[in-house]
Structure 1
Amino acid sequence: MSREPSTPPSRGAGIPAAADTSPAGQTAPRTPAQRANPEKSGLVKAYRRVLPESARRAIAQRVSVETRGALMQHMANSLDLQQRRQKIRGRRLQRRYAGHLDAALPRVVLVDGKAHIALVDPALTPHGTRADTLTLLCSTLEDAGIAHFCVRHASAGTTPAIAVAAADRRRVLHHLARLCGHIPGYVAPVGRDGVPGQPLPGFVPSTWRQVEKSDVTRVTWFRTTADGTLVLGQEHGCDIQFWAREEGPHGPLLVAPRRNGVVEEVPAFAEPVEAPVELFTGPLGHTVDTDAGALDRARRTVSTRPELTLRLPQDITFPIDVVYTWVDGSDPVWAARRAQAQRDAGGAETRHEEAANDARYLSRDELKYSLRSLHQYAPWVRTVYLVTDDQTPEWLDTSHPGIRVVSHKQIFSDPNALPTFNSHAIESQLHHIEGLSEHFLYFNDDVFLGSPLTPHTFFFSNGLTKFFPSPALIPLGVHDPADPPVAAAAKNNRALVEEGFSTTFTQKMRHVPHALSRSVLGEIEERYADAHKATAAAQFRSPEDLSVASSLHHYYAYHQARAIPSEMRYVYMDLAHPNTSRRLNRLLAHRDMDVFCINDTVSTAEDMERTNALIAPFLEGYFPVPGPFEKRA
């Protein structure tokens, strides 16, 4: 694992050109990322449904993980009749309506086991999809002369909504039906709990009878990558809300059918204002150049009401940057420098094996996919700083304004401490990065975002940071020479907190992005000057190290009421565990984690072929869309 040593668019905006699609029924060549996933197989699901858990547990005790995995893979590769029927149904649907659907029909995708027509988007992202859907619907209503305004939710990044008068329901549904006949979309009534029903084909006339009385209707265009490995559906659609007219003390009002966190009612007749689409969809982030040209989703505006443009107390308006530490252990120049430093320090045998293990320096291009996860799920990040020992990944486009490569030489207060191969030392200097925002996230390259997140996952709007304690415990007592470097550093952190705040913490931190405050890190450097300086000077991980960014910052800030413990959906996987393949398949099938870490602390260079075969297809399948920081061929 490559760890450091520890112009508004047209109405069809976002709709792919015919060149991006494949004919109905045509199957694109399968890539490694498209291998049958047992966790998506109907046969495997039926096996788990029919066989009691006790029986499956008994089988697990007698049959190896490898054998069970091979059997499930065979079941997934076998003919799944239900999925085959759905695909045939979808292709019939294409042929039936192809005569009056102007847009190309790129492919049939299965969502929850059912066939849907999806549009191919070469630069597919959740935030881009939300923006495309919102602006397309606004353009349609505007062209039809139907008064409307976008509704702002209390938190950004949720399903956007458009309000129309209930009196205009018939006209709205008529034009939506025409639009879904032109560009194949889906609709569903939204319940009082905000959950939409099953998506119904909007290009089928009978569908509209099922939503004609709903006060909120979800409109969705399913979108997919060219190879079908990623599909975005209802969660990235747009709600049409029908606001009822009532008489108020000062004139007629439009009353919201659902709570939105900002207003319950607005004047029925008022001059609309224009606002950036990001106010309703969340930030759009950096754009990606594709064969179709630059998809410029920035600075689009939509119609709304002045009341819905107010800045709210919970709005996070401060910039947030991301810092990665990265090393390429396969670089022979770097490897020779490290080997010489080891010899000068008395050899690797003088340190704990985890401090010297080659797995800490192996690179499988995890950084590329971690950056893709940022692009997909955290478009609100301003700038990414990549801290390296004068190394740059060959695929990285360093000319992009959103990324900066920072040398160790630019951040270390004491140049005599370099070169260093100690992640604790490097992490102690991150707040010295020139131009770094006060609030930032620190990533290792084996940490990935797994679903759309907002800044509120990591920060409060008043500037407080969040941290994520692990249930795993730190043994009590002072550090011992036999302690792994991570445990020793945690004990050293604890001794400082005990001395300063008279409490004893026992929990480790999860392997997630660390929300940090630059000023807090500066205070730690001043308050614990001797220990901090010793950490920065240690070339390799040492029993005397502090782990400043990943632990000490959080407990120090907490005791000063500047950080709050929090929770997130998270999973940690070790490539050495025999059950990791199944867990990766499950994660790829469900995509239900906010953050996941795929760690490797014991592999050697000889293990690369085995571990690459495990992780490479998973990462390409989970993050198939190239990010803005990758060079274009």
Structure 2
Amino acid sequence: MAVYRVTIKKVLLKMSKYGPASVELFIRKPRGFIYASCAKTSFLLHPRASRQNLLVGSGHGRFFIGTVTNHLSSEQAFQANLDDVVDVLKNAGIEHFVYATVAGQRSVVGCFDEDRLAVVSELVKTHGYSGAYLGVVSGRGIRVRRYLKRSAPWVLTKAPVLRFFKPQVSPNGILISDERSGCAIVFWQSGEDAWTSPVANPFARQLVQRDRQRATVHVGTGIYDSYPAFVRPDPFAAANYPIDVVYTWVDSSDPAWQSRRRAAVVESDGSELNPLAVNDSRFTSRDELKYSLRSVAAFANWVRHIYLVTDDQIPDWLDTSSDRITVVSHKELFPDSSALPTFNSHAIETVLHRIPGLSEHFLYMNDDVFIGRPITPGLFFSSAGTPKFFRSSARYGIGPRTADDAPVDAAGKNNRDLLAQEFGIGVTTKFKHTPHALRKSVVEQVEKRWSEEVARTRGSSFRDPDDIAIISLSHFFGYFTAQATEGKMRYAYVNIAHANAKHRYRRLLIQDSWDAFCLNDTDNEGVDMVRQERLLSNFLQAYFPVKSPFEK
């Protein structure tokens, strides 16, 4: 029996984030636990756990007990954790005040140092055995996490900053939200002359007597008690303007679309086309759009509206009744209908800024680009509205354009030559396959400055060696005219046709430190398509298990 107990203990300590006490309780009371198939072990909750909507969830290399849910965004998780903390403190009569950091994306509740034990005890009393955690915040991360049970762990009663969070888990055991959506609890020291925070914030490190008149503050969708110092918005932290998202999408399995494409190939004398311009992988849809929309809904729900630009095609799973998404036909955007139908992404990109109702600031995304974790508008735009671009380490070279160049490289070299003529500067940089932050007015300036090149590209049915790439050209033009700047992003690119794709998927799931990632294949010839699509589908369902508001 002793050996058995040690074995169980080691397994649980390895797979979970809980302490030894949970293991001992598991051995003494085998009832009241739940099984996590993803962890291949069991976790003790409580003898009444089977009557609670709880499940062990796994994701991104973590295991947490969480509440089961089907619909959740990161903003909803932030709000729920904040409300849970505030409700407990109000009911217990503990003085507190609320403020926010990181452009309003991180909620904070301020309490007094002398109330620390009372705060922790009340949270344990209210949320013990209900899938809640408290973590000790150290620097930018959490040093210690404790699952709330029947008493307050000693380590939580000494920390100057805690984070409360209730993980959310999908019905099939995939972790949806964790500590990153938690509510920070900061214990201020209350001196006779001033209250002092143990950590910095964007507003005030100290509150003196004259600053202590009560006020209310808006955080997310809630209104909370606070002080005037925390009510004023930080002008350098928030984007106080609407931001839309534009997607381009095609359903290559549509017989009508296939017929139009075959006719266009014949009409353009397909023997002269670059093979990569008509490669089937360029048009293949594996429902990536559905999961990309899930990533936006989950991690960037501050987006005002989404526009889906298609060749009169609508995904069968899309809920077109949603007031936050609009399907836009190519026919609405191309000024010359003779250029249609088009199968040239460079051409389609030249008309995106013509979408009726599109905001001045917008993100352009392909359906194979995904948001990887909760992000703020500041990742893409400065508080003053300046777009940020993300350069790649890849280059398309300094030599002249040749007939053998891939279409993307040919367009890049054409951009390079135009910029050299205009600004006397040579560029060879490509951009990462991320969401592209753009201003409509800057794209309009590019269209006006190089109208002939834009018109020629817009009239090409397939990618052509004479094309320009207006998105990257807008980045460079904006930078050289002080209307854009370089940004930094944690980003990953996966070639899903590569032999190591399975390993890359696993890394993305375990190391959830990516702001965005791209799952792309430029050539799938000779690839086992059944295996490729199975791996991709399994990964996307594991990373984005919750339906978005845009699905039926």
TM-score, normalising length from structure 2?
A: 0.89
Aligned positions of 1:286-325 closer than 5 A: 299-314=221-236, 315-325=238-248
Q: Cα offset for 1:589?
A: 2.1
> What is the DSSP-based 3-state SS (H/G/I as helix, E as strand, rest coil) of the residue aligned with 2:338?
helix
> What is the DSSP-based 3-state SS (H/G/I as helix, E as strand, rest coil) of the residue aligned with 2:142?
coil
Q: For residue 217 of structure 1, what is the aligned residue in structure 2?
A: 162
Q: Are the aligned partners of 1:422 and 1:539 in contact in 2 as well (CA < 8 Å)?
A: yes
Counterpart AA for 1:224? V
Aligned positions of 1:469-480 closer than 5 A: 469-480=391-402
Alpha-carbon distance in 2 for matches of 1:154, 1:463: 17
Q: Are the aligned partners of 1:324 and 1:386 in contact in 2 as well (CA < 8 Å)?
A: yes
Counterpart AA for 1:161? V
Q: Are the aligned partners of 1:127 and 1:379 in contact in 2 as well (CA < 8 Å)?
A: yes
Q: Are the aligned partners of 2:167 and 2:177 in contact in 1 as well (CA < 8 Å)?
A: yes
Q: Cα offset for 1:183?
A: 2.8
Alpha-carbon distance in 2 for matches of 1:110, 1:480: 50
> What is the DSSP-based 3-state SS (H/G/I as helix, E as strand, rest coil) of the residue aligned with 2:189?
strand
1:513 aligns with 2:435: yes
Q: Are the aligned partners of 2:135 and 2:143 in contact in 1 as well (CA < 8 Å)?
A: yes
Structure 1 residues 359 and 233: alpha-carbon distance in aligned structure 2, compared to 1, 3 A threshold = same
Structure 1 residues 109 and 432: alpha-carbon distance in aligned structure 2, compared to 1, 3 A threshold = closer
- Write the deviation string for residues 149-194 of structure 1: whole angstroms up to 9, x where unpaired: 1122253323x21011223334323312211226342223323x24
Which of the residues 84, 87, 91 maps onto 1:143?
91
Alpha-carbon distance in 2 for matches of 1:157, 1:586: 26
1:128 aligns with 2:76: yes
Structure 1 residues 329 and 606: alpha-carbon distance in aligned structure 2, compared to 1, 3 A threshold = farther
Structure 1 residues 122 and 545: alpha-carbon distance in aligned structure 2, compared to 1, 3 A threshold = same
Alpha-carbon distance in 2 for matches of 1:529, 1:624: 44
| Alignment gaps of 5+ in structure 1 | 1-22, 35-82, 279-298
Structure 1 residues 352 and 112: alpha-carbon distance in aligned structure 2, compared to 1, 3 A threshold = closer
1:176 aligns with 2:117: no
Counterpart AA for 2:216? E
Counterpart AA for 2:489? M
1:336 aligns with 2:249: no
Greater RCO, 1 or 2 (C-alpha within 8 Å, sep 6+): 1
Q: Cα offset for 1:513?
A: 0.8
Q: Cα offset for 1:196?
A: 2.4
- Write the deviation string for residues 402-436 of structure 1: whole angstroms up to 9, x where unpaired: 00000111111222211111110010011100100
1:543 aligns with 2:484: no
Counterpart AA for 1:126? S
Q: Are the aligned partners of 2:247 and 2:308 in contact in 1 as well (CA < 8 Å)?
A: yes
Aligned positions of 1:205-244 closer than 5 A: 205=151, 207-244=152-189
Q: Cα offset for 1:490?
A: 0.4
Counterpart AA for 2:123? L
Counterpart AA for 1:403? I
1:273 aligns with 2:219: no
Which of the residues 52, 62, 66 maps onto 1:104?
52
- Write the deviation string for residues 448-476 of structure 1: whole angstroms up to 9, x where unpaired: 11111111111111111111111111121
Alpha-carbon distance in 2 for matches of 1:114, 1:589: 8
Which of the residues 478, 487, 495 maps onto 1:557?
478
| Alignment gaps of 5+ in structure 2 | 1-30
1:575 aligns with 2:500: no
Counterpart AA for 1:383? H
Q: Are the aligned partners of 1:358 and 1:604 in contact in 2 as well (CA < 8 Å)?
A: no
Q: For residue 617 of structure 1, what is the aligned residue in structure 2?
A: 538
Alpha-carbon distance in 2 for matches of 1:261, 1:525: 40
Counterpart AA for 1:226? P
> What is the DSSP-based 3-state SS (H/G/I as helix, E as strand, rest coil) of the residue aligned with 2:144?
coil
State the identity %.
38
Q: For residue 147 of structure 2, what is the aligned residue in structure 1?
A: 201
Q: Are the aligned partners of 2:244 and 2:363 in contact in 1 as well (CA < 8 Å)?
A: yes
Alpha-carbon distance in 2 for matches of 1:600, 1:407: 25
Q: For residue 203 of structure 2, what is the aligned residue in structure 1?
A: 262
TM-score, normalising length from structure 1?
A: 0.78
Alpha-carbon distance in 1 for matches of 2:361, 2:199: 34
Alpha-carbon distance in 2 for matches of 1:112, 1:331: 36
Alpha-carbon distance in 2 for matches of 1:112, 1:601: 27
- Write the deviation string for residues 192-247 of structure 1: whole angstroms up to 9, x where unpaired: x2432221122141x43222222222222222111112243222222221111123
Q: For residue 626 of structure 1, what is the aligned residue in structure 2?
A: 547
Deviates more, 1:377-386 or 1:309-318: 309-318
Q: Cα offset for 1:103?
A: 7.1
Counterpart AA for 2:246? V
Alpha-carbon distance in 1 for matches of 2:375, 2:102: 15
Alpha-carbon distance in 2 for matches of 1:454, 1:189: 24
1:462 aligns with 2:381: no
> What is the DSSP-based 3-state SS (H/G/I as helix, E as strand, rest coil) of the residue aligned with 1:211?
helix
Q: Are the aligned partners of 2:314 and 2:327 in contact in 1 as well (CA < 8 Å)?
A: yes
Aligned positions of 1:408-427 closer than 5 A: 408-427=330-349
Alpha-carbon distance in 2 for matches of 1:27, 1:521: 54
Which of the pair is proportionally richer in strand?
A: 2
The CA RMSD over aligned residues, in Å, is 2.2
Alpha-carbon distance in 1 for matches of 2:58, 2:432: 34
Counterpart AA for 1:581? K
